[in-house]
Structure 1
């Protein structure tokens, strides 16, 4: 990492596609903290990983021989110990941003239900659910106190770190057949602008490897879902 501050003992235990790992990596990059990345296969979890992560999930951040798990906890820790601060100073606004971080996790759940939908009717229903989430975000972006490309305006913050991985899914999904017909993004100019700003952010780009898109396509094809079948049609 160019210009990173030395931070002995920082190891991010990762899965290549995990959006929760990505949000931690984004925060580490935003703060200029050097870290080692150790990638595992969650389908074949090594014993040493299970000893670190009581929930058996990524990410885990190893800090001077101790292990932190759960991405929100890790991000909060990093914001306490390293600058620049990614949360607002005002307690009310800070609480509001934490609530929108939780909303981002709910959106990830909706994305999982979408790409796992077993048939086209369910896919359409899950797309409708996702569209409702994005409309809520559009409304929230309209309440910003000042101009700027990010959730709170001109300054990149923790909510932005959460939503960078959310939108990244659709760089792979949007080009699939019929996706435009689902209308996920129609009439959401603020969301579109935010999405583009996050995609252009160096920390967001650096949070995944060069093979992320192909890895996600492989994962989605293997789901046996309605979306998988659409991808199969493209491959054919």
Structure 2
């Protein structure tokens, strides 16, 4: 099966699918586009105009990272979703929650004023606590093995790790399980190699381009 993933380099939603593909050792090609000026063909295959989009065998297109990841999980080993229907539904719910967290993270990174920044930070503080409360003994969301929840949340935690280095948002000991989860994920090659080698620099450049309070906060050396 031929898989072509459409992306731009620092998209967290695309990163979810790259983590899944790399973890499973699946062969795929990656095509980068300018999402601010997408080619006409892309808008035809991605009705929402968002990445990722996945072309399968040169004829069928899928969009939305959660849908793509479940498809990938069904066609490759090992399975990253629980066998139990109720637990599988719970995982889907937390994957959806992870999407909301990524949107909140973007709002924080691109906040235009200190007031907006602090308002978004309050939302994020609540979300981080909600994630903390869901975690067990680890090292991953569901225990000893990686799941699609981990693939969905890893991009979020990778960015928070960087953002916290650039500008302290929270102390690690405020969320000890979350901190341990972050370290477990960032120790994995399938996570760290799901972004370009110069990812921190690219993320800083992106924030500078957005303008506003966030870049002043997160892009200082």
Shift of 1:228: 1.4
Q: 2:156 aligns with which of 156, 166, 178?
A: 166
| TM-score (normalizing by structure 2) | 0.94
Consecutive unaligned residues of structure 1, counting only runs of 5 or more, are 1-6
Distance 1:169 1:231 in 2: 11
Q: Deviations over 1:94-152 (max 9, x none)?
A: 110000000100101110111121111221221121011011111100xx3xx430001
Q: Secondary structure at the match of 1:207?
A: coil
Q: Contact conserved, 1:130 with 1:184, CA < 8 A, in 2?
A: no
CA RMSD of aligned residues (A): 1.5
Q: Deviations over 1:175-233 (max 9, x none)?
A: 22xx32x436442100000001111111111211112211110011122221212346x
Q: 1:24 aligns with which of 10, 17, 22?
A: 17
2:175 corresponds to: 188
Larger of the two Rg values belongs to structure: 1
| TM-score (normalizing by structure 1) | 0.88
1:12 corresponds to: 5
Distance 1:201 1:207 in 2: 10
Structure 1 segment 1-236 matched on structure 2, within 5 A: 7=1, 9-65=2-58, 66-141=60-135, 144=136, 147-176=137-166, 179-180=167-168, 182-183=169-170, 185-231=172-218, 234=220
Runs of 4+ in 1 over 3 A off after TM superposition: none
Q: Contact conserved, 1:131 with 1:184, CA < 8 A, in 2?
A: no
Q: Contact conserved, 1:138 with 1:191, CA < 8 A, in 2?
A: yes
Q: Contact conserved, 1:21 with 1:71, CA < 8 A, in 2?
A: yes
Q: Secondary structure at the match of 2:112?
A: coil
Report the count of equivalent residues: 220
